[in-house]
A and B are shown apart, each in its own frame.
Chain A
Amino acid sequence: MTTAISQAPSTPVLAATKLHIPVLRPGHLHRTELVQSLLAAGTRVTLVSAAAGSGKTSLLSEWHSDPHELRPFAWISLDPADNDPVRFCDGVLAALQTIAPDLGTSAQASLHSPGTTLEDHVLPLLVNDLAGFGEPLVLVLDDYHVVEEKQIHKAIERLVERLPPAAHLVIATRSDPPMPLGRLRARGQLTEIRAADLMFDVAEAGAFLNDVIGLDLDAEEVAQLHDRTEGWAAGLQLAGLSLRGRDDHRQFIDSFAGDDQQIVDYLGYEVLDRQPPELRDFLLRSSVLDRLSGPLCAAVTGKLEAQELLWRLERENAFVVALDSKREWYRYHHLFAELLRHELNRTIPSRIPELHRRASVWYRDAGEIHESIGHATAAGDFGEAIGLITTHWYEFLQRGRQATIAGWIDKLPLQTVVEDPNLCLTKAWLGVNTGRLDEVERWVAAAGRAAAPDEAKQLPPLESGVASLLAIHRYMDGNVSQAVSAGRRALELERGGPASPWRPVGCPVLGLSLHWHGERDHAERTLTEAVRIAKANGNHLAAMHASGGLAAIAYDRGDRTSAGARAADALAIAEEHDLGEHWASSLSLAVRGQLLEEGDDLDAAERVLLRAAAVAERGIAAIEIAYSLLLLCGIRQRLGQHDDAQRIYQEARSAVDRCEDPGILTARLERAERRLRFAAPARHARTVDYSDVLSDAELSVLRLLRSELSQREIAGELHLSLNTIKTHTRNIYRKLGVAARAEAISKARELSLI
C-alpha cells in the first residue's frame, strides 16, 4: 500500500467555475430599476433573498456589468461542499484574489493551521487585509442557502459587523441567513431585494415573452400568463419555452391559466416531455452531475455528441447556465436540475448507480478527488470510495480540510466504516487534529478490532499504524514515556516489512518523545530519519516539526550553528507552505528566540518567544506549550518584568501539570522556579512593540475593557463566547505584563493602544 502524499490537491478547473461571474445572455431582460437601486445603495450589505428561479443571480450579474458600477466584483457560487469552513474561506479568498492577487494573504496563511477558527483567527486578519487594501470592492456570496455550518454563519455575521467602509457584501440566498438582520435594517446598513421586488410586472413579462423568447402574444395572453405565474421569472421562462414551437398559443395559455397545478409541476414536465427522446434521455442521465462539461457528460451518458448538445442547450436559452467564458463548463438551472433528478429517480432508478460510477471514474482520472469520492459513495461503490479516501485523505488534512474528510466518511454507512481499519485510523487522526482525544481512543480501538479477522490484510502497516497513532495520542496527552514505547513498537512492527503510511508522521513524534524523555542521541537519529522520510513524502508539516526538534536538540547540546540552521530550515518550510500559524512551528521559533536572547537582542527574542508560545497554544500538545512558556518566562525575567514572569511561570506549570509524564520538562520547570525565587525584583521595563503582539480580536476586547461592561456583557457585545473573552483577556494581561483590568487599561493608554 502506498499513500499518495503528493502535492496539495489542485482543482483549478472546478475551482475556477465557482468564481466565474455569470455572463448575461444576449437579449437578457434588463431590470433597470432594480439595478439602479443597487447602484444607489450606500449600505454595508445587500441581501437578495427569494425563491429558486426568481432571477437573483441574473440581477447581480446585470448589476456587475452595468457601466455605472465601477467597483470590481469578487464572486463565489457556493455549493454544499463549502460547509467545510476551510474550503469556504479558501473560496472567498480566491474570489477576492481575482481582484488583487495578494489580497487576503495573511488570512490565507492562518487558514490552514489546525486550532485556528474562522471567527477568532482568520476573520480578523481578513478584515485587516480588506482595510489595508483600501479600494472599494463588492464581494458576492451566491447560493448562500447551501451553508449550514455554524462556524461559517458566525464568521459572516462578524464580517458584516466589521466590514471596512470600502467593501460591500452581497448575500444571495433562498432563505434568510441566520444573522441579526433586524439590527442592520434598524441602522440603515442593509439593502434588501426580496421576492416581491424580483417579480416581473406585466410590461416586463410581455417584453420577456415577446422580445426575449420571441413569441407573438397579445396583451391579454401576456396578462393571463403574468397573472398565473405572478411574475415569477422561472414560471415565465418555462411558459415561454413551452410556447415556443407551438401554434396553439391561445389554447395552451387558457388551459394553463385555468389549472391549479403547481407551476413547475405543470410547465416543467410539459417542457421536458416535449423534448426529443434522445435529448430527454441525455438531460435525465446527466442530471446526476452538479457541473457539466462535454467530456464528462459523454463519459456518463455514453453520448459522444454531449459537447454539441450542451452548446445547443446554451444557444437555445434552455436549461443551462455557463460556468466559464470558454464554454467548457455548465450547470442546469437549479430548479430544472431538481426536476430532472426527480424524474430520473422516478423513471430509471436502477440506472443511477452506474451513472454515478462513471462520473466517479471520470473525476478520479481528472484528479478531482472530492467529486470522485462523492459520486462513488452515491453509486454505493463503497470499496472505491474507501480506496480514494485512504489514498488522499492525508493531502486534504495537510490543508486543514478535516471537515471535508469527516464528510466523506460520515456519508458511508457506519458499519462499513467500523469494518475498515484504515477508515477507523483516519477517524482517529481527525480526532488527533481536532484535539478530540476521546475520539482517538475509540477509533484506535475500532481499528484494532477491524483488523483482527483478516490477518492477510497488510498487517504490518496497520498494526504499526495503530501504534503510531497511539504514540501521537500519548505525546499530545503529555505522556512521553508511553509515547516512546508506542513509537518504538510501531517501528519494530515494520521491521522487515513494508513501511507503514503512518511512518512520516509517527517518526517525528517518536523522535520528539525521545527528546523530551531525555534520550538525546536516539532522538537525534530518529528525527534525522524523520526529516528524510517526510521530505521524500512531501509531508511538509512533519518535516517542519522534526527539523524543529533537531534544532532544539542541537541547542541543548550547545551547538549554536547547527541549532540556528535547523531552526531556519524549519521556518523556511513554514514560510513556503503556509504552516507559520501551525502549532508545530513553535519549537523552531523557541530555538530561534533563545539564540536571539543569547545574542542579547532581547526585544527581538521576546517577540519571537511570545509568538512561539502563541502558536503552541493553538495546538493541544501541553509539552510544547510548557516549553515555550518557560522560555518566555525566562526572557520576561531578564527584561525585568518580574510579575509577568511569575504569571507565565504559573501558566507553564499548569501545562506541565496536565502532562502524565512530562519527562525532562519537570527539571526545567524546577530550574525556572529557582531562578524566579532568587531573582531581583523588577528594575525597569523595556518597551516592546505591542501593536504587533496583540491580535485584532484582543484589541477589540481591550477597547471594551475600558467600559463598565462585565466580561459576560463584553462577550455579548462582540458576539463571542464568555470563554473566548476570558482567553483574550488572559492573553492581553499576559502580553501587557499586567494582572488586572485597571492596570491593563493604563498600560494600554501608555502604549497608545487605545
Chain B
Amino acid sequence: MIAPHSRQRYEIVVRGRLSSRYDAAFDGAALVPRDGQTTLRADLADQSQLYGLLNRLRDFGIELVSVNAVGRTDDAL
C-alpha cells in the first residue's frame, strides 16, 4: 500500500565506538566507528522516522554528536 518514494540519507555521529552487536538496532543503520565516535548511516523515510531513531539512541543512553542530511536515495523501497 505504501508507494515507493525517495528516502533521505542521514549521517548521525554518536560518541563512543559501537560494536557490531548494534548492527540491527537502529533502523538498519550501518555503523562506521572511527576515532572514538561512530557514524550511523541510515536511509529514512521522513523526519518522524529520524526523531524515532534519535529517541532510540537516547533510550540506549547514547550521546549524540551531530546529525546531517547527506543526500537522497531515489530507489524504491
Interface residues, chain A, with chain B CB atoms under 8 Å away: 51-53, 145, 174-175, 232, 234, 259-265, 269, 334-335, 338-339, 342-343, 345-346, 414-415
Q: Check A342 against B62 for contact (C-beta < 8 Å).
A: no
Is A263 a contact partner of B24 (Cβ separation < 8 A)?
A: no
A-B contacts, 21 of them at CB < 8 A, read A51-B58, A51-B61, A145-B58, A174-B58, A232-B61, A260-B35, A262-B16, A262-B38, A262-B62, A264-B62, A265-B18, A265-B22, A269-B21, A335-B60, A335-B61, A338-B59, A342-B21, A342-B60, A345-B25, A346-B24, A414-B1
Find chain B residues with CB under 8 A from A415 CB: 1
Interface of A, secondary structure class, is helix
For A259, the chain B residues whose CB sits under 8 A away are 17
The reply on B14 being an interface residue by CB < 8 A is yes
Docked-complex contact B21 and A53, CB < 8 angstroms:
no
If A260-B36, A261-B16, A262-B15 touch, whether A346 touches B21 (CB-CB below 8 Å) is: yes
Using known A-B contacts A260-B36, A345-B24, A346-B24, determine if residue A52 contacts B61 with beta carbons closer than 8 Å.
yes
Instruction: Give the size of the chain B interface in residues (CB under 8 angstroms).
Output: 21
Residues of B within 8 Å of A51, CB to CB, are: 58, 61, 63
| Chain A residues with CB under 8 A of B55 | 145, 175
Q: Please tell me which one of the listed residues A175, A339, A343 contacts residue B58 in the complex, with CB atoms under 8 A apart.
A: A175
For the complex, give the distance between the alpha carbons of A175 and B54 in Å: 11
- How far is the CB of A346 from the nearest CB of chain B, in Å? 6
8 A Cβ contacts from B49-74 to A: 55, 58-63
Q: Which residues of A contact B15 (CB under 8 A)?
A: 262
B14: chain A residues within 8 A (beta carbon) = 262
- Which B residues are CB-close (under 8 A) to A262? 14-18, 38, 62
What residue of chain B has the Cβ atom nearest to residue A264's Cβ?
A: B61
Give A52 to B55 CA distance when docked, in angstroms.
11
Contacts of B63 in A (CB 8 A): 51
Residues of chain A lying within 8 A (CB to CB) of residue B47: none
Q: Which residues of A contact B60 (CB under 8 A)?
A: 52, 264, 335, 338-339, 342
- Which residue on A lies nearest to B54, using beta carbons? A175
- Whether the pair B24, A265 counts as a contact (CB closer than 8 A) is no
Q: Are A265 and B59 in contact (CB under 8 A)?
A: no
Contact of A265 among B1, B16, B35, B36 (CB under 8 A): B16
Question: Taking each of B25, B36, B38, which has the highest tally of chain A beta carbons within 10 Å of its own beta carbon?
Answer: B25
Which residue of B is nearest A175, CB measured? B58
Binary contact readout B1-34 vs A (1 if CB under 8 angstroms, 0 otherwise): 1000000000000111111011011000000000
B16 x A53 contact (CB < 8 A): no
B59 contacts which of A52, A261, A346, A414 (Cβ < 8 Å)? A52
Distance in Å from the Cβ of B26 to the closest Cβ of chain A?
10
| Cβ of A446 to closest chain B Cβ, rounded Å | 14
Distance from A552 Cβ to chain B, minimum over Cβ atoms (Å) = 47
Instruction: Given contact pairs A52-B58, A262-B62, enumerate 12 new A-B contacts (beta carbons under 8 Å).
Output: A52-B59, A145-B55, A145-B58, A175-B55, A232-B61, A259-B17, A261-B16, A262-B38, A264-B62, A265-B16, A338-B61, A343-B21
The one of A234, A343, A414 in contact with B61, judged by C-beta atoms closer than 8 angstroms, is A234
User: Once bound together, how far apart are the Cα atoms of A649 and B24, in whole Å?
Assistant: 65
List A contacts of B17 (CB < 8 A). 259-262, 265
Q: How far, in angstroms, from A255 to B55 measured CA to CA in the complex?
A: 30
Asked if A265 and B58 sit within 8 Å, CB to CB, the answer is no
Q: Which residue of chain A is the closest to B19 with respect to CB atoms?
A: A265
In angstroms, how far is the closest chain B Cβ from the Cβ of A632?
46
Cβ contacts under 8 Å, A175 to chain B: 55, 58
Which chain B residue lies CB-closest to A414? B1
Contact A260 B61 (CB under 8 A): no
Whole-angstrom distance between the alpha carbons of A345 and B23 in the complex?
A: 11
Indicate which residue in B16, B22, B35 contacts A263 across the interface (CB closer than 8 Å): B16
Q: How far is the CB of B3 from chain A (nearest CB, A)?
A: 14
How distant is the Cα of A53 from the Cα of B63 in the complex, in angstroms? 12
Residue of B nearest to A342 (CB): B25
A53 touches B25 (CB 8 A): no
**Within the assembled complex, what's the spacing in Å between the Cα atoms of A339 and B14?**
17
- Whole-angstrom CA separation of A240 from B26 in the bound complex: 28
Chain A residues closer than 8 Å to B25, beta-carbon distance = 342, 345-346
Please give the distance in Å from B60's CB to the nearest CB on chain A.
Answer: 5
Chain B nearest CB, measured from A394 CB (Å): 29
Contacts A262-B15, A262-B16 given: A342-B59 contact, CB under 8 Å?
no
Cα-based distance from A339 to B19 in the complex (angstroms): 13
Say how far B72's CB is from chain A's closest CB, in angstroms: 27
User: What are the residues of chain B within 8 A of A260 when measuring CB–CB?
Assistant: 16-17, 35-36
Indicate the member of A265, A338, A343, A346 with the most B CB atoms within 10 Å: A265
Taken together as a complex, chains A and B put the C-alpha atoms of A335 and B59 apart, in Å, by 7
Known contacts: A345-B24, A346-B24. The answer to whether A334 contacts B16 by CB under 8 A is no
How many angstroms from the CA of A261 to the CA of B25 in the assembled complex?
16
Nearest A residue to B22 via CB reads A265
User: Smallest CB–CB gap between A82 and chain B, Å?
Assistant: 16
